[in-house]
Amino acid sequence: KGLINDVPNGCHMEVNGTLHLIKDPVQSLDIDVDFTRANCAFIQRYVKNIMSDFQGRASGKVRIYGKFREIDVNGDAFAHECAMTIPMLNTRYHAVNETLRLRPGYVELVDVTGYDRDGKPGQKDHSAIINGRITYEHFRNMHYTFDIDAYNVLAYDTKDFGDMPFYSTAYGTGKVSLQGGPGFVNIAIDATADADIHSMEGSARLKVRTDVLDFTGASKSAVAIVSDPLELSISGTSDNGIIHCIS
């Protein structure tokens, strides 16, 4: 049994359970953790392949158990505030006062409201309703599947070419489905996109409706953005990813 208090930040944690450090029969743990406003920054080490700079505080009760290399978690966490950056999109999102369901092999989000950098609680604009899961194998090999209802949410935001043949600031309203993991994300879109796109061939302002967007990291491929009735094709190669829209 143990107690952890961080008075300035309002953090309190109580731990009860057993910890087996001797390898005979096996090193393992089985503990119950009751926590209030715990710092969630430690999560970053587990999600570093799909997001960066994860910050937040949460309260709840969870059971942490299993062999040392096969740890699982079961319980619920109430996120007072949390924020993370999606490097592939160069966008940062945050949520306030939402519940996460932690289960063996996955974390589930049910009707969680998230916001882009311009959004805030109580404001529909720049917000999104998120349902989905982050799945893993004992906190390794993480993948995610999300269904999102977005309302003018910042979906892509780059300020220079970098390794890509274009850069853009794009907002979207509509339905988006995400499936991804380390180094890749596949996105199905039924949304209206409002984007400033700057390519090596010139610039354009587009308000278009798109259907499919594939963004695959760690590959070299041509880049194209197609819309109807407007069309802008951007060709090139990239070490970081491809974007392909089909209308």
pLDDT digits (tens, 9 = 90+) for 117-133: 999 998 899 999 999 99
pLDDT in tens, 35-63: 999 998 888 887 787 788 999 999 999 99
Greater confidence (88 vs 94) lies with 94
**Residue 156's pLDDT is what?**
79
Task: Please check whether residue 206 is in contact with residue 198, taking contact to mean a CB–CB distance below 8 angstroms.
Answer: no
pLDDT band at 159; cut points 50, 70, 90: confident
pLDDT in tens, 95-118: 999 999 999 999 999 999 999 999
pLDDT in tens, 208-222: 444 444 444 433 333
**Residue 155's pLDDT is what?**
80
pLDDT at 82 over 90: yes
**Residue 2's pLDDT is what?**
64
**Residue 238's pLDDT is what?**
34
Q: How far is CA 92 from CA 11, 172, 180, 227, in A?
A: 25, 15, 17, 26
Supply 204's token pair. 């354009």
pLDDT in tens, 177-200: 878 787 776 767 677 766 665 555
Write out the H or E segment, with its range, that includes residue 45: helix 44-47
197-234 CB burial, b ≥16 within 10 A, e <16: bbbeeeebebebebeebbbbbeeeeebbbbbeeeebeb
DSSP 201: T
| Phi, psi (deg, nearest 5) at residue 46 | -90, -20
pLDDT at 94 over 80: yes
Mean pLDDT of all residues in the chain?
76
